[in-house]
Amino acid sequence: MTTRLFGEPVQRREDPRLLTGQGRFLDDLGSGALAAAFVRSPHAHARIRDVDVTAALDVDGLIAIYTWEDLPERVGRPLPLLIPHPALTHGRTAYPLARETVRHVGEPVVMVVATDRYLAEDACGLIEVDYEPLKPVVGLEDAVQSGHLVHEDVPGNIGAHLVQEVPSASGLSAGEAIDAAPHTLSFRLDIERSASTPLEGRGVYARWDGADLRVYSSTQTSTSVRMAIAAALGLPLTSVEVIAPDVGGGFGVKIVHPWPEEILVPWAAMLLGREIKWTEDRREHFISSAHERGQVQHVRVGFDDDGRVLGMDVRILHDHGAYTPYGIIVPIITSTQLLGPYKLGAYRVEFSSVYTNTVQVTPYRGAGRPQGVFCMERTMDKIARHLGRDRTEVRAANFIQPDEFPYDQRMTFQDGRPLIYDSGDYPEMLRLVKELIGWDDFERAPNRGIGIGCYVEGTGVGPYEGGHVQITSDGRVHVSTGLTSQGQGHQTVFAQIAATELGVPIERVSVVTGDTRRFGYAVGTFASRAAVMSGNAIALACRKVREKALRIAADALEANPADLEITEGIVHVVGDPKAAVPLSTVAVLANPLRYAFDDEAAKATQFSGQASGGASPDRPPVAEGDEPGLEGRDYYSPIRSTFAAGMHAAVVETDPLTAEIKVLRYAVVHDCGKLINPMIVEGQIHGGVAQGIGGALYERMVYDSHGQLVNASFMDFLMPYATEIPHVETAHLETPSPLNPLGIKGAGEAGVIPVSAVIASAIEDAEGVDIDRMPISPSELFDLRG
Amino acid sequence: MKPPPFEYHAPRDLGEALEILAGAGPRGKVLAGGQSLIPMLNMRIAAPDHLVDINRLGALSSIDAGPGGVTVGALARHAEVERAAPHPLMVQALRLVAHPVIRNRGTVVGSLVHADPAAELPAVLAVLDGSVRLARRAPGASGLPDGVVTRDVPAGAFFTGPMESAAEPGELAVSAFFPALPPRTGTAFREIARRHGDYALAGVCAVVTLDEDLHISAARVGCVGVGPVPVVVDVTEACERRPAATVPWQRVAGAVRERAEPDGDVHASAAYRLHLIGVLAEQAVKDAAREAAG
């Protein structure tokens, strides 16, 4: 038997390279390239009266300065609105360089190209932009109440408005069900902004050889960047290659595309006939990439004596920042995933997505779910408190039961498809998490609290991904898929899948991702989808290759393919290890040759008598319908998302004097279906929990009333260090997905999703005051104590 | 995030360094550990025309502990001083300064000259009544080479405002002096930071001396992050010459809060900082008294 690698905690194969500084990130490339830098708006909202570049022209090493007026019509168009939605009635996107108006601090206004970045920044500093400041719109309440507009043609700053409503089984609307309920509560919740803040910012490096354009980008989707560049620059797709080199984290911000720089840098490279590189610096990342999370939620809920929710009505104000390139995916996810593992009587959710003069909002790990889960889990805790019941009992009373799958929530999910959960076992998950944290034996003590949070996460969103697998005559297996990697461990898990499917040692498998030269069709790495989508596509491609290998080997061994198996890279007859042929030879035989360039190849030449089909002079060397080579390509396209779930619990301690908040224990039970590599899944969860603790206790984007982001550095934007993250205890539950061949669900975002809800639950338990805002700092807890 | 142009100087001895600084005047800046200056250059917050790198002046790396106190040279790194452990309060403070990699490069004297009111070492110098030695070039008498003159500035006069010290253009802080502790004296440093190694929201260092009956005979605290410069408060009177067990701590906390003038910022409100400084003062004085009692 071949070692079955699927499901094993195989060490990450990419780590030795990345941990010893051998990674090749965007800024490691193009050392001889010209450097681009940008003059960015210092105002949140202003009209551009004039741009005076005179003083900058004297900078030694200056190559070019571009404003919007310099851009050709095609390049100067507003950036695409990537995900249109009928409810997004007033979608607006930015120009690559500001045209007439700037709408947030950090919006690019002028592009400078110079021989190095120092000089480019010197020139930027000498360019004088004359602004006429306009009234900025900052904060959600300001957006809907002040009367000032971010976009003159968007009344009330409302970009989108969407209502989804599910009546109760007896036909009551949410409002009617709440009014008729024995108990009702209403309250308001606030969630502040945070951001992906990957260690590596964005970056683009382009070179043009007169006919073809090659672009490297620190992106989560090279195939889509390629199409966007080809469209903007009017190039045939076949003349554009896009490669994602090693990428130092994405967490959502790099799925947005094309960023202005992804169009402008290649355009200037073509125009100047020179290599150009732009590497985002940290301040640029804070003020010009993307943020997320900011919402205000108004909740009304009606429930019975057992805490069963009979009706729930949620009204969300969602802060979209200045532009909506990624549509309204985030508030749609909040609205739908708010439901979690629960079946409600009646549900109505309404959101308004509003413009403000701040950095645009696009998905950040969790993508609207942390807000939705915060809303639902705060609701569950408040119901329990109102009824004087245990918080886990109230949750259990609302769970979808294991025999109710597939469970239709009767809503429309972010993929435009029905929100139908494929599988899960929530009661068992609750039992496990209570056991792990010791819920029933928790010793009550002053300033100590325990909290819990549950979520369901739609993962593996379509439309598709593909995989290509080739076995070469040295016996090596080359796997490629179009989506990109940002550190997830794709080199390891995709190799585990291929090694298991093909029966080869993992050392012989190599994996290439995010390179349009190797695989041109892909969507991208986001929405916890890479393992589900590319994993299944690669498995299907491997199965094609395996079938062909067995067919060719059966010919060579004069055996029946059904009697063959592959172990350690060798095809042999079951029960007869001597009747064997290595895959390397099968690969040789699969490719009839005229020329013998080495001894192995000689076996496949016309006089060897061994080549596939070559034994019979009556058949063509490559049979009709067959192809030379031992390779296969396949795609996986699911009917809809698969739904992973998790439950977290934590014990916190608050300092009675200083109001400091310490997480003493953190427990996670997680179900992402069949595990490909439990160690990597745990790593994903640990990292997610760390980001979640950032969102719960540390991170916020602090805009002042002028729209200045006053904490735009890692000095003042407090990403937690390892010292702030507790040990995370994990347990897994595996309810396979019936939707895909491998039975897997996504795990990338999971860890971050319920953390704010869990920490709020625990602090509330410790302090006895309502925790209705996130994040919460010691200073704020001090204020709440009064 | 690349610095603007500057002229880089790497003098080999003190005289050369002072000559360059004298020539550069207000357009010159000294580079020692660079842990604050380099980020400020990269963010173009600082734009000196002349950067005078003193890292080749090996003679300034000394750490001399004598009966009267400790003299720390301008190139002594935080980590070196922490390891040499010449003074208990300095060690307590240095453990709270940023992270090990920063302490490997950053210098004690550099921290003092940077004069960040949220930093630990200025408060230590202030509570101990230490001083900083500033050197400048003195034109030689006719025909003789230029000489060096120095002046010692006591802590109380050295810190003149947030990020502002008494060091004048053309001057180089060559050393700092931290007085030794009297007998039966203990010290402590308490602070609250949002994350491990961050600048404190508020911090208090305390120096407490006991008499032979173990009653508090002198107690001073230096406060961090609650004013434009380190705030030193003598709380001897508030301790009422009592043993630590019966000190009216509310009075001590009150005396400190009375002198503190914190601002609110993105991390904490002024009211919270004011609350903290009292809590920390009580904790630090208690800790120091315990240490003094041995």
With respect to residue A140, please indicate whether it lies within any of the assigned structural domains. Answer: no
Q: Which residues of chain B lie closer than 8 angstroms to A122, CB-CB?
A: 4-5
pLDDT at position A598: 84
Residues A453 and A475 in one domain: no
Q: Which carries the bigger pLDDT value, residue B222 or residue A1?
A: B222
> Which residue is associated with the tokens 């590599």?
A677
Which of A779, A782, A783, A785 should be substituted to probe chain B, the one whose Cβ sees the most B Cβ atoms within 10 Å?
A779
pLDDT at position A692: 97
pLDDT at B203 over 90: yes
pLDDT at position A613: 46
Q: Are B180 and B246 in contact (CB under 8 A)?
A: no
How far CA A659 is from CA of A152, A443, A662, B269, B278, in Å, comes to 45, 21, 10, 13, 14
Residues A268 and A301 in one domain: no
CB neighbour list of residue B233: distance below 8 Å, 6 or more residues apart? B220, B221, B223, B255, B256, B259, B281
Interhelix angle A369-387/A755-767, nearest 10 degrees:
30
pLDDT at position B146: 74
Residues A234-268 as b/e (b if ≥16 CB within 10 A, e otherwise) read ebeeeebbbbbbbbbbbbbbbbbbbbbbbbbbbbb
Contact B266 A702 (CB under 8 A): yes
Half-sphere exposure of A408 (CA within 13 A, CB side): 5
Residues A565 and A452 in one domain: no
CB neighbour list of residue A296: distance below 8 Å, 6 or more residues apart? A140, A141, A188, A189, A190, A191, A316, A317
Q: Are A669 and A429 in contact (CB under 8 A)?
A: yes
pLDDT at position B147: 87
Domain CATH code at residue A381:
3.30.365.10
* Mean model confidence pLDDT for chain A: 95
A32: exposed, middle or buried (C-beta count within 10 Å: 0-12, 13-18, 19+)? exposed
**pLDDT (tens digit, 9 = 90+) per residue, A542-598?**
999 999 999 999 999 999 999 999 999 999 999 888 899 999 999 999 998 888 888
Cα B262 from Cα B272, distance rounded (Å): 9
Q: Which residues of chain B lie closer than 8 angstroms to A658, CB-CB?
A: 192, 276, 279
Half-sphere exposure of A216 (CA within 13 A, CB side): 19
**Mean pLDDT confidence for A419-429:** 97
Distance of CA B123 to the CA centre of its chain: 5
Nearest-Cα distance to chain B for A723, in Å, is: 6
Q: Which residues of chain B lie closer than 8 angstroms to A709, CB-CB?
A: none
Domain CATH code at residue A265:
3.90.1170.50
Among chain A, residues having any CB pair with chain B shorter than 8 Å are 117-118, 121-122, 125, 281-283, 657-660, 698, 700, 702, 710-711, 713, 716, 718, 720-721, 723-724, 777-779, 782-783
Contact B196 A659 (CB under 8 A): no
Give the tokens for residue A126: 């000498």
CB neighbour list of residue A683: distance below 8 Å, 6 or more residues apart? A12, A489
Give the domains, in start order, of chain B with CATH numbers: 60-131+152-166 (3.30.465.10), 185-293 (3.30.390.50)
Q: Is B163 left (phi over 0), alpha (psi -120 to 50) or beta?
A: left
Strands A564-567 and A570-573: antiparallel
Among A288, A309, A340, identify where a domain stops: A288
**Mean pLDDT confidence for B207-232:** 96
Helix (H, G, I), strand (E, B) or coil at A321: coil
Contact A118 B3 (CB under 8 A): yes
Nearest to B279 among A118, A657, A702 (CB): A657
pLDDT at position A610: 62
Residues A576 and A656 in one domain: no
Residues A49 and A106 in one domain: yes
pLDDT at A617 over 80: no
With respect to residue A496, please indicate whether it lies within any of the assigned structural domains. Answer: yes
Among A603, A636, A669, identify where a domain stops: A636
With respect to residue A169, please indicate whether it lies within any of the assigned structural domains. Answer: yes
**pLDDT (tens digit, 9 = 90+) per residue, A342-355?**
999 999 999 999 99
Nearest-Cα distance to chain B for A708, in Å, is: 13
pLDDT at position A615: 57
Residues A176 and A215 in one domain: no
Contact A659 B272 (CB under 8 A): yes
With respect to residue A207, please indicate whether it lies within any of the assigned structural domains. Answer: yes
**pLDDT (tens digit, 9 = 90+) per residue, A37-74?**
999 999 999 999 999 999 999 999 999 999 999 999 99
Longest dimension (CA), chain A: 94
Among chain B, residues having any CB pair with chain A shorter than 8 Å are 1-5, 43-44, 192, 194-198, 201, 266-269, 271-272, 275-276, 279
B20: exposed, middle or buried (C-beta count within 10 Å: 0-12, 13-18, 19+)? buried
Cα A150 from Cα A474, distance rounded (Å): 61
Q: Are A754 and A648 in contact (CB under 8 A)?
A: yes
With respect to residue A151, please indicate whether it lies within any of the assigned structural domains. Answer: no
pLDDT at B141 over 90: no
ipTM: 0.94
Cα B179 from Cα B159, distance rounded (Å): 17
Rg of chain B's alpha carbons, rounded to an integer? Answer: 20
**Mean pLDDT confidence for A696-701:** 97
Residues A177 and A316 in one domain: yes
pLDDT at position B294: 86
**Dihedral sign computed on CA atoms, order A608, A609, A612, A618:** positive
Give the tokens for residue A225: 């960047």
Residues A234 and A301 in one domain: no
Helix (H, G, I), strand (E, B) or coil at A724: helix
Among A636, A665, A692, identify where a domain stops: A636
Nearest to A777 among B5, B268, B276 (CB): B268
Residues A95 and A231 in one domain: yes
From A37, which residue of chain B is nearest by alpha-carbon distance?
B1
Task: Give the domain range for residue A655.
Answer: 159-194+291-462+639-785
**Mean pLDDT confidence for B267-273:** 97
pLDDT at A231 over 60: yes
Residues A116 and A248 in one domain: yes
**pLDDT (tens digit, 9 = 90+) per residue, A277-313?**
999 999 999 999 999 999 999 999 999 999 999 999 9
Give the tokens for residue A186: 């209403």
Q: Which residues of chain A lie closer than 8 angstroms to B269, CB-CB?
A: 779, 782-783
pLDDT at position A619: 80
Torsion angle, alpha carbons of B22, B28, B31, B34, to 10: 160
A596: exposed, middle or buried (C-beta count within 10 Å: 0-12, 13-18, 19+)? middle
pLDDT at position A1: 38
The number of beta carbons lying within 10 Å of the beta carbon of residue A770 is 15
Residues A555 and A455 in one domain: no
**pLDDT (tens digit, 9 = 90+) per residue, A192-219?**
999 999 999 999 999 999 999 999 999 9
Q: Which residues of chain B lie closer than 8 angstroms to A123, CB-CB?
A: none
A762: exposed, middle or buried (C-beta count within 10 Å: 0-12, 13-18, 19+)? buried
The number of beta carbons lying within 10 Å of the beta carbon of residue B123 is 30
Residues A453 and A344 in one domain: yes
How far CA A214 is from CA of A226, A240, A274, in Å, comes to 9, 6, 12
Nearest-Cα distance to chain B for A696, in Å, is: 13
Torsion angle, alpha carbons of A217, A218, A223, A228, to 10: -60
Contact A777 B195 (CB under 8 A): no
User: Considering its fold, how many domains does chain A have in total?
Assistant: 3
**pLDDT (tens digit, 9 = 90+) per residue, A91-128?**
999 999 999 999 999 999 999 999 999 999 999 999 99
Peptide bond before residue A258 is cis, with ω within 30 degrees of 0? yes
With respect to residue A208, please indicate whether it lies within any of the assigned structural domains. Answer: yes
Contact B267 A779 (CB under 8 A): yes
Which of B38, B276, B280, B286 should be substituted to probe chain A, the one whose Cβ sees the most A Cβ atoms within 10 Å?
B276
Helix (H, G, I), strand (E, B) or coil at A330: helix
Amino acid, res. A762? A
Contact B267 A282 (CB under 8 A): no
With respect to residue A8, please indicate whether it lies within any of the assigned structural domains. Answer: no
Amino acid, res. A241? E
Give the tokens for residue B62: 């000394």
Contact B269 A779 (CB under 8 A): yes
Q: What DSSP line would sit under A56-108, residue for residue?
A: GGGSTTEEEEE-GGGS-TTTTSPPP-SS--TT-TT-----SS--SEE-STT-E
Q: Percent of chain A having pLDDT more than 90?
A: 93
With respect to residue A283, please indicate whether it lies within any of the assigned structural domains. Answer: yes
pLDDT at position A2: 47
